[in-house]
Structure 1
Amino acid sequence: RTRISRPPPAWPPFFAGTSFLNRTEATNVEKIVTRFLQHGVNPGQIGVITPYEGQRAHVVSVMARSGTLRQDLYTDIEVSSVDAFQGREKDIIILSCVRSNEQQSLGFLGDPRRLNVALTRARYGLVILGNPRVLSRQPLWNALLVHFREAGCLVEGALSNLKPSMVQLSKPKKTFDRSSFGVGALTTNRYQPPER
């Protein structure tokens, strides 16, 4: 039985030089990658996206150290930053959001353009690892998480026995919007694309 857990919000992500990393998410990425590989998914079909170089390096290290299958399977999986994946796709994308401490901002994933890139790289399947309580503080993430919950896709627990998440989503923080590009009125509403 494989347990997928997220770190408690009181545990901050670690720093790797000037970058963030989240050890629990990196371990869970390896478990999910292993499960896909065990079910016959080709390593070239899987991509791992994370907004931080520290997390990218740590995910690669965890897969090399802890992966239970042949090592060449793990080395053939692309692990890159959001920006490096721009314009490209994989059949399956695993997005490691990293940030888990409720006092911290979302950093790169608070930017709607980078979030758009991260969420649209998967052709067939997207797995998001993150702390929904922290992510839901940003209006766009809140709307996504509400949608995921309504669709039965917001889950937690053991990988072999995922259950609907009972986590209480945070109320979105007030942000300046014009789709969060820095111009506009103060809002707490869910993201609405600008009219054309």
Structure 2
Amino acid sequence: MARESPRGPGRPRDADMEDRVYAAVLEVYWETSWRGFTFDAVARRAKVGRAALYRRWADKEALLVQALEARSPLSTPIDTGSVRGDLVELAEQLAVGYGELSGLVSLRVTLDARVNPDLLSHLTDTLNQSRLVTTRRIVRRAIARGELPEGTSTTLLLELVTGAVLARALFSQAHAGVRSRAAVQHSTLIVDTVLRALS
């Protein structure tokens, strides 16, 4: 079995290559969608060798998922001590995310999956997993504290909060991606409405 050669004293590792690659992934996908998203295009945009990409990522699906996960709006753990506070924070993180390029690209991937379900449906499942896991933790803690009834649907709760946040991000004239007082108030209104419906 071939052994990996130890790194020699030559060129040092490019510390910011990963950041440049992730930024290039988002830009290329946003501009070209799935059909134009290639290792060659990403390598040119990031100004790295194509071989460097192949050494790190097995295929373009893995590269896309990792870039989106690295820029995930849910990068900060959520545990405020109350279900209301947790859901407001969830709504805020999602709102900020949808206002950034990573959020827009994740939406484009979802739309592309409708056209290419065999290629992209598993990608959307992977991308949705972080939101589902985060919401499941919120729901479990809330049930344990007696704030939500047993049997509360994590999926329904996530759909209600995400749907309202996404509608505002897409159709409102408010500046998406900015944590303004008005944005926080709107997130709080969404959460209070959802909690009343579930109580």
Do both share a fold (TM > 0.5)?
no
From the two aligned structures, give the one with the greater helix fraction: 2
Greater Cα radius of gyration, structure 1 or 2:
2
Higher strand fraction: Structure 1 or Structure 2?
1
TMscore range, shorter length:
under 0.3
